[in-house]
Structures are given as structure tokens and as C-alpha cells.
Amino acid sequence: MGMKARNLLDRLFSGVGVLAIVVMGLALVLILAPIFSRGAGAYIFKATVEHRRMLLERFERGNAEALAAEAEAVREARAPVYAMLARYAAEDLAGLSGREKREARQRLEEVEDILQELFGPMPGAATPVLPRQQYGATRWDRAEVKLDRLLYVETWDYSDSGSMGQQVLKPRREEFAGTALEPLFGYVETHLEAMLRPEWTFYWGFLTDSSFDAHIFGGIWPELVGTIYLTLGAMVFAVPLGIVSAIYFAEYAQEGRLVSLLRTCVSTLAGVPSIVFGLFGLAFFINTMHVSRSKSVLAGSLTLGMLILPTVIRAAEEAIRAVPHSYKEAAVGLGAGRWRTVVTVILPAALPGILTGTVISMGRAAGETAPIIFTAAVSVGKVLSPWETLTQPTPALSWNIYNLCTEHEAVDEIRHVQFGMAATLVLAVLLLNLVAIIMRARISNKLKG
Amino acid sequence: MGTPRSSRQSLVMSARANLAAALSRWLGNGLLLAITSVAAIGVLFILFFIARDAVPFFQLRGFKEFFTSTHWYPSQEPVEFGALSIFVGSGLVTLGAALVAAPLGVAAALCLSDVLPFGVRQAVKPVIEMLAAIPSVAYGFFALVVFAPWLQRLGAITGTNALNVSIILGIMALPTVVSVSEDALQAVGRELREGSYALGATRAETLLRTIVPAASSGILAAVLLGIMRALGETMVVWMASGNAAQIPDPWFNFLEPVRTLTATIAGDMGEADHVTGSARYHVLFAMGLCLLLFCFACNLISEWVVSIQRRKLKGE
């Protein structure tokens, strides 16, 4: 092979490597970008007057007087809609009979349903039981989707039998051509802003409010607290155990068959699939040890603690081994015993490194889902007090992300909550990692002198 | 002036004091060892308790149906527990993930260890760390809510299929593959590299003909660990694999939905939990046991392979 060809191949090879790294970076961006950009929509969005009404009535936040004034303005803007509905019922519907009337009423009910989703219950109607029917669209983006549904009837065209059905949008106005309801659609389309008064809002309550009506309203506070409990609980079990084990491995253990067996066990523990930890937690902590009657934060924390134990051990051992030998020699030279050297010299010197590993495993514990499915997580729950964690299960961010995007009855309705939750969890975990990265950088600077 | 009483006392060498010191040292060592063994005992406990709940299934239903039949009807009479299609599903997505993660990961590791300058390498490290840190449920959420609709727009009949899961699992396994194989490449040392360059080899030739063969066992271990991560992953496959207990037709058709062991355990336990003692409950532990044993095997093989490399590099 000529020199030229070899150099070309060399370049090509480097290019492939760089490409792989670029693909990796791209994957990271592609995954994080939608989660963060749409997750931000849970905190910052155009909130309608219905949102402000909900906040005032449910969380007692907001300016009651300003809201009353707004409500008055909104009522005025909405009045023509209800007038049109009343006129249609009185004039057009009354003139029909039999099947025609039934069909017309059905069409009317469809319109009324969508209007209720947009503006809340009709004036004069009894307050519905379900919160989701008590309020109209609280978010402008959802309101726009509902407006589309009001303006267009969605039908499917199956005439081309070869392919899948084609979606056809037909203006709903045509269904009501010539009736008192015909102008309603144009009116709603042009006056929607006046009827809902959207304003850009920073809804910090998404983090600190409880949710109600299956997460359709409110925030993620119980999930957040649950995640914090589980994470801290796991740390309480794993960190002391992990540090002691690391001390043993790094300072006491004489390399031999027993120690290498122990090491193999630790690395095997690290390789156990997370769902198996969940099964184990169920079979051991709950069904055998009976640490709690059924799922509880305690059982989940113990399971998570076992899951992160190998990570903590490895990080702590590495940190302890990184302490310069001269420290130890100085301590021993001053007459300190082995244990005293460890406690007074080596541990303080290794502490930042140990903390780094701890912080990273904290992120791991916060994000794990599979181990807590059978041991700690429930879909709906309130904020627990610290002693209730011994016996009660809790909602948690990771579990509820799964739950809301697969098992919720109105998945599309609460996309913003799902994204908000995912973004919050990912951000928390990444921040923990960032802290660890910064700490590590400072340690390596310090060790360099 | 005078030395404190206690320290003067510790200098006194009496037989009793010696014995006490030896005893306390011995006790202390034992205590440390005991605490350290928690992790080891944990592994044994996991194996024991999963096996304890898995054995009743095999007693009730035997082995043949579980491993050879594709009829998975755990909840309708007559119950059938043929898990073959689920094993195939797990294997398929793991294979897919390995096909994504192994070439990308090894190429990236080569590039990181030998091609890129130090500064760039430091900048790439956090990217890998972030990929490793993102919780699996967030990956699953992305796969289901963002990635599946993309795939569907590209022409797949359903977005929640083996391809989707394979790609996402591959990305999740990347950090493991990259960091472990980079370690293996670094462990090869300067001498081999310098020797190869001195003979006039280009960088590509040095890496492919000298360094990669020398580090091959470490790279194999990296891929094995990545495979383990993909096989054991639950949330992504549960959310985005479609959960259809069927063998794709043909078997390598990645565009069909599949169902994996992990997702079956996660998904069926909710219904099976209150019938503790039934085959329905124990079959999930049987699956857990299969997963566990496979991961143990992978782990041991990778450790063994790494130790071989270490010995080889030391010996040469």
C-alpha cells in the first residue's frame, strides 16, 4: 500500500472515531432538548383566567379582587356564546322532530362539551363533582387544541382501501349552516383571547403544589418529597456501610482468596439488574423480614441502598487510595495506630472524593424506578411525615413519570406535567452530577498543589 | 509539667495490655470484615431469595413449557407459561443494543484514548457522564413520547418496537462500553504504541494492529458489561417495546413490537402480587432468576477476561 493510501486510511479512521463521539453528543442533545424545552412548559406557560381561578380557589393564591374584575370581563365576552346556544335550542331545535332532532341534539351536545372544556361549566349549571369539569382550559396551548376540535370535525376517510385511513377535517360550522349557532364558531375563534385572557405566567407552584384530580391540576410536590425521602433513606443505609467497606478494602484487607471473593461479590452486586433488586426487595424485605406490612418508603430505601452500595464502595475506595502515602506515613510516624490514622488523617483527606462518589450515587438512587415498583411506589398519594415513611408507600418522580405517560386516563391532556416531571428529575440528577464534577476538579487541583 | 496519664500508661508493656490490644485489634478487624461482607451476603441473599420463589414455579409447571413454548397466557384459563417469545424478545433488543453500542462505543473509546488532544477529551468526559447519569425512566419517557412518534412518521407501523428500544438501550449502554474499553486501551501502555510508531506504522495501523489486539479482552469485557446493562434495563423496554409477547416474523424484524423479561416482571407483578404462591407469581421470579444467572455469568466472564489481560500485559 502506498504512503498516500495509508495516510488516507489513517484520516478515515480518525474521522470514524470523531464521528462516533459526535453521534454520542448529538444523542445527548436530542434526548435532553425535548425534555427540557417541553418540560419548561410546565413552569412557564400562557395561563388563562381559569388557571388563576383554580389557584385562588384551590391554593388560595392570587388577587381575589383582580380576579373578580377579570371574571366579569370574561363573563361579558362569553355571554354571546351562551346566548347563541340558548337561541339555537329555542328556535332551531324546537322546529325539528324525531330522528333529525336526536341527531341535532347530539351535535349540539358535542359543541357544548367542548365549550365546557374550554370555559368551564355553563352559567347557571350545578357545580360538577369532578374538578376537571369545574374549570375550563387552564393553559392557552390546550385551549388552542380544543379550539381546533370545536372548529373542525375529525373524520376518517377509508375510501382508499389500499392504505390506512386518511384524516379529514371538516369545518363544524357546516353542520350548523343556516342555524342560530353558525356564527358561534367564528365568534369563538376571534374572541378566544378575550374569553380566556391568557398571560405568560411563571408557575413556581408546579414544584411546591400538591396535585389534584389525577395530576390534571396542581404540581408535583408529593412526588418530589417522595423521591427525596427514598434517596436520603438509601444514602443512610449505603453510605456508612460503603465507607466502612472501602476502609477495609483499602487499608485493612490483605489480598488473598477471601478478599478477592469479596471484591467479586461487590462487582457482581453492581451487575444485578435493577428489576431483580425490586423482586428481592419484595421477597426479602417485605415478604420475609416484614419491615412493613406492604410497600413502604423504608422497604424501598433499603432496596435502593443495596443497589447503590457497590457504587459507594468503589468511589470511597478510590478516594481513600488517592490519599498520598506521605500523609499516612506522617501519621504513623507520630505514633498513631492504624484506626486512628484512618479516622483522623485518611478519612478527612479522602472526604471530598468520598462525597463526590456519594453525590453521584444519590443521583442514581433518585432516578431508579424498577427497584421501587414493588417496594415503595404508589401512583397517587400525599406528602408523608417522616415517621410515616416507616410504614407508608409514597409517590415518587421516577415512578410517576412512567405512570402518567402510560397508565393515565387522559395522557394527552397532561403532557406538560409528564415533561415537567421528567425535566425536573433529569435536572436534579444532572445538577448532582455537576456538583460531583466540580468537586472532583477542585480535588485534582488541590492534589496538584 | 508531665505527660498525660493515659499516654504514659499506653507505653507500659504488660502481658495483659498486650493481650487486650491484640484482642481489640482482632475484634476490630473482624467487625470491619463483617460490615464489608454485607455486600457479599447481599449477593447471596439476592440469589437465594429469588431462587426460593422461583423453584415453586418449576415444581408446579416443569421446565419444558417455560423454555420452549411461545404461548404466554398467564391470566386466562387454561393458563400457559410459555416464555420463549419473551426470551427471544429480550435477546433481540439486547442484540440490537449491542449492535448500536459496540461499534460506536469502541470507536469513541479509541478516539478518546489516542486521537483527541487532552483538552477535547476533558470536554467529552462530561458528555459520557451525563449519558450515564440520565435516569432510565427519562430515557423510557423519551423513547415513548418523543422517539416513537418520530419513528412512526418515518414509516414504521408502530413507534413502540424493537428498533426504538434497541437504539435507546444502545445509547444507555454507550457510557459503560466507552469508559471500560478506554480503560483497557489506556492499560496497554506507551511502550507498545511507541514501538509500533517507531516501526513506521500510522496511527490507525498502530491502534488496529497492535493496541486493539492487546486490549481485546478488555474491550470484550466492556461490550459484555454493556450487554448486561441493556439486558437488565426495565423502564425503557417496558415503556417503549410494545410489550407484545410474540416472536417477530422473521425473527430479526426490528420493526415489530416485542416483550422482554424485565418488562414482563415489572408489568405482571402488579396483578400477580396478591396471589402469592400461585404459578403466576412464581413465574416472574423464575424470569428474574434467569436474568440474574445470565448477568452473573456475564460479570464473571468479564472479570476473568480482564484479569487475563492484566496478567498478559504484566507478563510481556
For the residues B105-130, what does the mean pLDDT come to?
A: 89
- 62-81 of B, contacting A, C-beta below 8 A: none
Average of per-residue pLDDT values in chain A: 88
Phi, psi of B254 (to 5 degrees): -75, -10
What is the DSSP pairing of strand A217-218 with strand A211-212? antiparallel
Tell me the pLDDT tens digit for each residue of B292-301: 999 999 988 9
Question: What integer pLDDT is reported at residue A163 of this predicted model?
Answer: 62
Task: Tell whether A425 is within 8 A of chain B (Cβ).
Answer: yes
Task: Tell whether A365 is within 8 A of chain B (Cβ).
Answer: no
**Nearest-angstrom CA–CA distance, A369 and A429:** 14
- Looking at chain A, which residue has its C-alpha nearest residue B53? A283
Residue of B11, B26, B46, B284 best to disrupt the A interface, most CBs of A under 10 A: B46
For the residues A33-50, what does the mean pLDDT come to?
A: 93
Confidence of residue B174 (pLDDT cuts 50, 70, 90): very high
Whether residue B156 has pLDDT greater than 80: no
Query: In the 8-state DSSP scheme, what is residue B72?
Result: E
Say if residues A312 and A361 touch (Cβ distance below 8 Å). yes
Question: What integer pLDDT is reported at residue A162 of this predicted model?
Answer: 60
Question: What integer pLDDT is reported at residue A449 of this predicted model?
Answer: 62
Encode B107-142: b = buried (16+ Cβ within 10 Å), e = exposed. Answer: bbbbbbbbbbeeeeeeebeebbbbbbbbbbbbbbbb
Phi, psi of A291 (to 5 degrees): -65, -25
Rounded to a whole number of angstroms, the distance from the CA of B140 to the nearest CA of chain A is 8
Say if residues A352 and A436 touch (Cβ distance below 8 Å). no
Q: Cα angle vertex A322, ends A320, A324, to 5°?
A: 105
Candidate ranges A38-52, B71-85, B249-263; pick with highest mean pLDDT: A38-52
* Interchain CB distance below 8 Å, B303 and A267: yes
Say if residues B101 and B132 touch (Cβ distance below 8 Å). no
Q: Which of B40, B134, B234 sits opposite A31 (nearest CB)?
A: B134
Rounded to a whole number of angstroms, the distance from the CA of A321 to the nearest CA of chain B is 17
For the residues A284-297, what does the mean pLDDT come to?
A: 88
How far from each other are the two terminal CA atoms of chain B, in whole angstroms? 62
Tell me the pLDDT tens digit for each residue of B229-242: 999 999 999 999 88
Q: Which is more confident, A449 or B205? A: B205
Whether residue A78 has pLDDT greater than 50: yes
Whether residue B176 has pLDDT greater than 90: yes
Question: What integer pLDDT is reported at residue B1 of this predicted model?
Answer: 38
Whether residue B7 has pLDDT greater than 50: no
Tell me the pLDDT tens digit for each residue of B33-43: 888 888 889 99
* Interchain CB distance below 8 Å, B124 and A25: yes
Q: Over pLDDT 90: what percentage of chain B? A: 42
Q: Out of B13-22, B105-114, B194-203, which region has the weakest mean confidence (pLDDT)?
A: B13-22
Confidence of residue B159 (pLDDT cuts 50, 70, 90): confident
Confidence of residue B3 (pLDDT cuts 50, 70, 90): very low
For the residues A255-259, what does the mean pLDDT come to?
A: 84
For the residues B154-172, what does the mean pLDDT come to?
A: 89
Whether residue B6 has pLDDT greater than 50: no
For the residues A394-419, what does the mean pLDDT come to?
A: 90
For the residues A278-291, what does the mean pLDDT come to?
A: 90
Confidence of residue B2 (pLDDT cuts 50, 70, 90): very low
Average of per-residue pLDDT values in chain B: 86
Q: Which is more confident, A411 or A319? A: A319
Q: Which value does ipTM take for this structure?
A: 0.92
Confidence of residue B275 (pLDDT cuts 50, 70, 90): low
Question: What integer pLDDT is reported at residue B4 of this predicted model?
Answer: 46
For the residues B8-31, what does the mean pLDDT come to?
A: 76
Q: Which of B110, B133, B146 sits opposite A429 (nearest CB)?
A: B133
Rounded to a whole number of angstroms, the distance from the CA of A82 to the nearest CA of chain B is 38
Task: Tell whether B49 is within 8 A of chain A (Cβ).
Answer: yes
Question: What integer pLDDT is reported at residue A305 of this predicted model?
Answer: 95
Q: Out of A343-347, A439-443, B106-110, which region has the weakest mean confidence (pLDDT)?
A: A439-443
For the residues B284-289, what does the mean pLDDT come to?
A: 93
Tell me the pLDDT tens digit for each residue of A120-177: 888 877 888 888 888 888 999 999 999 998 899 888 777 766 666 677 888 888 888 8
Entry field: residues in chain A: 449
Task: Tell whether B299 is within 8 A of chain A (Cβ).
Answer: yes
Burial of A390 (0-12, 13-18, 19+ CB in 10 A): middle
* Fold assignment, B93-315: MetI-like fold (1.10.3720)
- Domains (ranges, CATH) in chain A? 47-150+181-203 (no CATH), 221-448 (1.10.3720.10)
For the residues B194-216, what does the mean pLDDT come to?
A: 89
Whether residue B190 has pLDDT greater than 60: yes
**Nearest-angstrom CA–CA distance, A83 and B228:** 65
Tell me the pLDDT tens digit for each residue of A258-276: 888 898 899 899 989 999 9
Q: Which is more confident, B54 or B15? A: B54
**Nearest-angstrom CA–CA distance, A299 and A121:** 44
Say if residues A240 and B38 touch (Cβ distance below 8 Å). no
**Nearest-angstrom CA–CA distance, B215 and B185:** 6
